[in-house]
Amino acid sequence: MTATLPVHTDSHGHYESPATTGRRDKMGVSFLILADFVFLLSLIFSYFYLRALNTTGHWIPSDSHVAKNWQGWVVTLIAILSLLAYRSGLSGIRNGSQSKLVSGMSLALLLIVVDLGAQIWQWSNFPFLTTTGGYASAMIMLAGANCFHLGLTIFLGIGMFNRSRKGRYTKDDFSQVSLVGLWWAWIALSSVMVSVTALFTN
């Protein structure tokens, strides 16, 4: 003989209140962004450390080249446009517009895919190798980190697009859209940080 205990759920089928799960999810995303911020900051610190140290003139050797800054800013611009598209979708669901949410998510995802392609193109066309000097190795690492960021964002974007398309979010329940929006904003900001860092070559 077995006994069953009653399970208390709300109208959404949650085992805990949406406020409780929302706070916990937001804390988790915040810690993820904080950890990634520290990681990126360590890469930027390494960049400036190697630049300042310039051991035997090997920061940028005399016979080497530097990356074209405009290429990095194109990557950053696309990331910012993707964030704006995402924010448009978020604004739509806040006002109860499912169609605006879906269109915003689809455009944001498309732009992030394009951005990853642009970053890979820049990465593969750097006029140097990791062994060229301190600047070269630092730039290749920063580009690789951004590729990781964009790849993870695409994974999240696919999930958000599918759930939006299936009508999983409403005007009264869109906390996941807001949480992923925090990561999307961080990706745009991190791209700006990398592009600004790359301006300091000599």
Determine the pLDDT at residue 5. 42
Q: How many CB atoms lie within 10 A of CB 52?
A: 9
pLDDT tens digit string along 126-184?
Answer: 998 888 889 999 999 999 999 999 999 999 999 999 999 998 898 888 889 999 999 99
Determine the pLDDT at residue 1. 45
Sign of CA dihedral 91, 185, 110, 173: negative
> How far is Cα 154 from Cα 72, in angstroms, rounded to an integer?
19
Is residue 110 within 8 Å of 161, Cβ to Cβ?
no
> How far is Cα 31 from Cα 80, in angstroms, rounded to an integer?
22
Q: Model confidence at 26, in pLDDT bands (50, 70, 90)?
A: confident
Determine the pLDDT at residue 188. 97
Task: Extract the tokens encoding 3.
Answer: 């006994």
Burial of residue 125, with CB atoms counted within 10 A of its CB: 0-12 exposed, 13-18 middle, 19 or more buried: exposed
Give the predicted TM-score (pTM) of the model: 0.86
Contact residues for 149 (Cβ-Cβ < 8 A; gap 6+) = 36, 187, 190, 191
> How far is Cα 182 from Cα 71, in angstroms, rounded to an integer?
25
Which residues are paired to 173 by β-bridges?
170
Strand intervals (E) in the chain: none
pLDDT tens digit string along 42-86?
Answer: 999 999 999 999 878 889 988 889 999 999 999 999 999 999 999
Contact residues for 5 (Cβ-Cβ < 8 A; gap 6+) = none
* Residue, of 11 and 141, whose pLDDT is higher: 141
> How far is Cα 130 from Cα 141, in angstroms, rounded to an integer?
9
